[in-house]
Structure 1
Amino acid sequence: MSILKTITGKYRRFKLSLSPQQNLFYGFLTYIVTGTLLLSLPWLQKVSVPILDNLFIATSAVSTTGLVTVSVFDSYNFFGQFVVMVLFQLGGIGYLTFTTFMLLSTTRRMTHWHQRILKTEFTLPKTIKIQDFLASVIIFTLVMEILGVILFLIAFRAEGMPWAQAIWASIFHSVSAFCTAGFSLFNSSFVDYSDNVLINTTISVLAITGSMGFIVVTDFVQRIKKKGHKLSFTTKIIGYGFLILLCFGFIFFYVYEPNISQLEGQERFLAAFFQSMTAMTTVGFNTADFGAFLLPILLVTIFLMYIGASPSGTAGGMKITTLTAVFAIMKSRIKNSKKITFLGRSIPYERLYIATSSFIFYTSLIALGTFLLTFSEDFEFEKVMFEVASALGTVGLSTGITGELTGFGKIVIIVLMFIGRLGVLTFGLAIWAKYKEDDDVEAIKDDLAV
């Protein structure tokens, strides 16, 4: 008993010695390793799956990407599929979110360590308490996913799917859509349901609410409840930016992509909207074959995946807030203005530094990832770049080359998906930044005592 207590004490001291970014790094890495080991168990598989592919699937799930080298349905049985779902559920709501919520639910107080990690992961404004935020995240997630299950079940049953299969498919895809994970039990994603209005709408609502972020959704809810409540500046930026980019993508898909423009009426509208939405929210589902799209449309999709959605949601990408900050800097330089503003509001220099650092680091990683894959893979350049942008943006869309990647190519994509889930700056700080120990010695002592 004393040995176990000693080991536990050392482990706690090790956790407290790490920076919040390093804790996130090791936390998500632990999820991935655990997931890989579980998926490697023979009794979770329908057919034998190589360890590298299990690692790829586990990383893709935890990072809520959705890129797969093997079919989830054909390779894993129900228990294996359940493990995959748990992994992208944990990856979607964030590291420590569920465990901290359970800690608070059992009347135990939140430790200083928990607060540091959660503040780093979600970047909460000072006006929002972590306890209230966590409760909102868990409740909102459950409500949206249960609603998604009900709507999916109605749609799948209407399509003639058996009850048992429809129930499991509804649960799996509802969680996957809200967490913008992009994992599907259908090998062709939702191509077979491209004209199903209910399925298209359900996925879109779940993906948009998940990708917009819990803080943004909370802000909108408060605006509806309280007449005097005004939307925050960040919410306005994310909202306007999302709508503009969504419409931008929709127009290109609707007008210029032959595979979509040849469709008629409602089906054409649904296909154009869905493809733009799936790239923006990084949900990764598709109702059309991206491998057959024109080069200009692939470039538009890469751009949308590159940007992503909200920094407080389940979506990946560089984030809309980063794009607007970089745009504001460019505008001020062109106008030769010393003050950097956007929508009439001045942007603090600290946020500008973060945005420019993120922009440079993110763009460099896409360039580096594409460069490395061109050495090992024998595919067209645009398909390689598409795969890299999809991996780093944790999107999950593909032109169909994922399963044909070499071992080296899979490792590159695995690393990019992991970095994309952490966030490029969080990854950089976890690897290179020197951590200054917390000055709040009493708080650390309290953590050790809990």
Structure 2
Amino acid sequence: MNKLKIWKNQYTKFKLKLSPQQNLFYGFFTYVIAGFVLLSLPWLQKTDIAFIDNLFTATSAVSTTGLVTVSIYDSYNFVGQLVIMSLFQLGGIGYLTFTTFMLLSTTRRITHWHKKLLNCEFTLPVTIKIKDFLKSVILFTVVMETIGAILFFIAFYNKGMPVGEAIWNSIFHSISAFCTAGFSLFNSGFTEYVDDGFVNFIIAFLAIAGSLGFIVVTDLVLWIKDRTHQLSFTSLIIFIGFAFLLSFGFIFMYFFEPTITALDGSARLYAAFFQTMSAMTTVGFNTVDYGSYSIPIILVTIFLMYVGASPSGTAGGIKITTLSAVFAIMKSRLRGSKEITFLGRKIPFERLYIATSSFIFYTSLIFIFTLALTFTDDFGLEKSLFEVSSALGTVGLSMGITGDLSSIGKMLIIIIMFIGRLGVLTFGLAIWSKSIQTEESVFIEDDIAV
């Protein structure tokens, strides 16, 4: 008992010494290792699965990516599938969110350590408090996933699926869709439902709700409670940016993708919207085969995956707000303006600094890992770029190469999925935190030609 107390105290001291970014790194890493160990247990498997594939699945689940090297349904039994679902549920709502909510419910206070980590994990505007945010996250998650499960059950049961199977599939896919995890118990994804408007609607409803972000949800909840509450500038940017990119992607998919233009009537409409929504929200489900996509639409899809949706939500990518900030810098510079503005509002320098750093680091990682994958696996540039973009954006879409990756190729995707879930800047700060903290050198200012 004394040894347990000593170990607990030592572990607490260890956590307190770490920066918030390092705590998040070790937190998500612990989730991955725990998931890997559980999935490696023989009694959770239907067939023998290589260790690298178990690690790949665990990382993909925690990062809510959805890329898989083996079939989830054919490889893992009910308990194994339950573990995978638990991992992407934890990955979806964020590290410490549930535990902090329980702490808040029992003690009605959050420790300073918890506040630091939550502020690091979730980028919040000053108008939203941590307590309100946490309550909205948990409540909204439970409500949306419950509604999604009920709707999925109706859809699956009406398709002739047995009751027990329909219940489990409904719960699994509802959580997967809301957390934009992209995991499915159907080997062919949702390709059989390409012309099913109801199923298309359910997935889009859950994925958009999750990807728009808990900032927007909290904002709306506060507005409903108090009509004098003004929606934050962040929410406004998210709404406008999401609508614009969704329309942009839909037009390209509907008019220029041969796989979709070959479909008739409503199926074409559903497919164009669904594929755009799936890439943008990073939910990663598909109703058509991406392996047969034309090059222009592959590039459009990569761009949508690259951007993603909202910060502090379940989606990946650089985020709409980051793209907006970078666009504002470019626009202001071209106009010769000294102040950086967007939609008539001045953006704080600190936010611009974060946005440009994220933009450069994210783009650099895509280049580096695509280059590395072209060395380890011979799938061609477009398929390698698509796979890396999907992994870093935690999307889960693939052109069909994931299962055929080499062991080194799988490790590259595992690393990039983990970085994508953690966030590129959080990852960088976690790695270089100590050198930044101890660096006290005084530098001479000088000029460079750009």
Q: TM-score range by the shorter chain?
A: over 0.9
Letter paired with 2:196? N
Shift in Å, 1:131: 2.2
Shift in Å, 1:229: 3.4
Letter paired with 1:406? S
Contact 2:194 2:270 (C-alpha < 8 Å) held by counterparts: yes
Shift in Å, 1:224: 4.8
Shift in Å, 1:109: 3.6
Give the 3 Å change call, closer, same or farther, for CA 428–375 of structure 1 in structure 2.
same
- Given the two structures, how large is their TM-score scaled by the length of structure 1? 0.95
- Segments of 5+ residues of structure 2 without an aligned counterpart are 439-450
Give, in whole Å, the separation in 2 of the partners of 1:108 and 1:61. Answer: 31
Give, in whole Å, the separation in 1 of the partners of 2:58 and 2:79. Answer: 14
Which residue is equivalent to 2:55?
55
Which residue is equivalent to 2:285?
285
Which residue is equivalent to 1:340?
340
Give, in whole Å, the separation in 1 of the partners of 2:369 and 2:218. Answer: 36
Q: Deviations over 1:129-166 (max 9, x none)?
A: 32222121111100000000000000001111000110
Give, in whole Å, the separation in 2 of the partners of 1:161 and 1:276. Answer: 28
SS at match of 2:338: coil
Give, in whole Å, the separation in 2 of the partners of 1:363 and 1:39. Answer: 33
Q: Deviations over 1:317-376 (max 9, x none)?
A: 011111011111111111111111100111111111101100000000000010000001
Which residue is equivalent to 2:447?
none
Which aligned pairs between 1:322-401 and structure 2 lie closer than 5 A?
322-401=322-401
Which residue is equivalent to 1:105?
105
Shift in Å, 1:237: 0.7
Give, in whole Å, the separation in 2 of the partners of 1:108 and 1:3. Answer: 30
RMSD across aligned positions (CA): 1.2
More deviation, 328-337/280-289 = 328-337
Which residue is equivalent to 2:442?
none
Letter paired with 1:4? L
Give the 3 Å change call, closer, same or farther, for CA 239–436 of structure 1 in structure 2.
same
Shift in Å, 1:436: 5.0
Which residue is equivalent to 2:9?
9
Shift in Å, 1:236: 0.9
Which aligned pairs between 1:68-147 and structure 2 lie closer than 5 A?
68-107=68-107, 109-147=109-147
Contact 2:392 2:420 (C-alpha < 8 Å) held by counterparts: yes
Which residue is equivalent to 1:275?
275
1:216 is the counterpart of 2:216 = yes
Q: Percent identity?
A: 69
Letter paired with 2:14? F
Give, in whole Å, the separation in 1 of the partners of 2:339 and 2:125. Answer: 23
Shift in Å, 1:104: 2.2
Which aligned pairs between 1:113-192 and structure 2 lie closer than 5 A?
113-192=113-192
Q: Deviations over 1:68-123 (max 9, x none)?
A: 00000000000000000000000000000111112222336422111111111012
More deviation, 359-368/374-383 = 374-383
Q: Deviations over 1:274-312 (max 9, x none)?
A: 000000000000001000110100000000000000011
Give the 3 Å change call, closer, same or farther, for CA 365–185 of structure 1 in structure 2.
same
Q: Deviations over 1:176-221 (max 9, x none)?
A: 0000000000011100111111111010010001001111122234
Contact 2:93 2:314 (C-alpha < 8 Å) held by counterparts: yes
Shift in Å, 1:127: 3.1
Give the 3 Å change call, closer, same or farther, for CA 304–333 of structure 1 in structure 2.
same
SS at match of 2:107: coil
SS at match of 1:433: helix
- Given the two structures, how large is their TM-score scaled by the length of structure 2? 0.95
Which residue is equivalent to 1:442?
none
Which aligned pairs between 1:402-413 and structure 2 lie closer than 5 A?
402-413=402-413
Give, in whole Å, the separation in 2 of the partners of 1:310 and 1:223. Answer: 19
Give, in whole Å, the separation in 2 of the partners of 1:220 and 1:249. Answer: 26
Q: Deviations over 1:376-397 (max 9, x none)?
A: 1111210110000000000000
Shift in Å, 1:169: 0.2
Letter paired with 2:345? R
- Segments of 5+ residues of structure 1 without an aligned counterpart are 438-450
SS at match of 1:15: helix
Give, in whole Å, the separation in 2 of the partners of 1:111 and 1:323. Answer: 34
More deviation, 212-221/166-175 = 212-221
Give, in whole Å, the separation in 1 of the partners of 2:128 and 2:219. Answer: 11
Which aligned pairs between 1:11-50 and structure 2 lie closer than 5 A?
11-50=11-50
Which residue is equivalent to 1:443?
none
Give, in whole Å, the separation in 1 of the partners of 2:225 and 2:104. Answer: 27
Which residue is equivalent to 2:446?
none
Contact 2:128 2:219 (C-alpha < 8 Å) held by counterparts: no
Give, in whole Å, the separation in 2 of the partners of 1:363 and 1:245. Answer: 19
Letter paired with 1:128? I
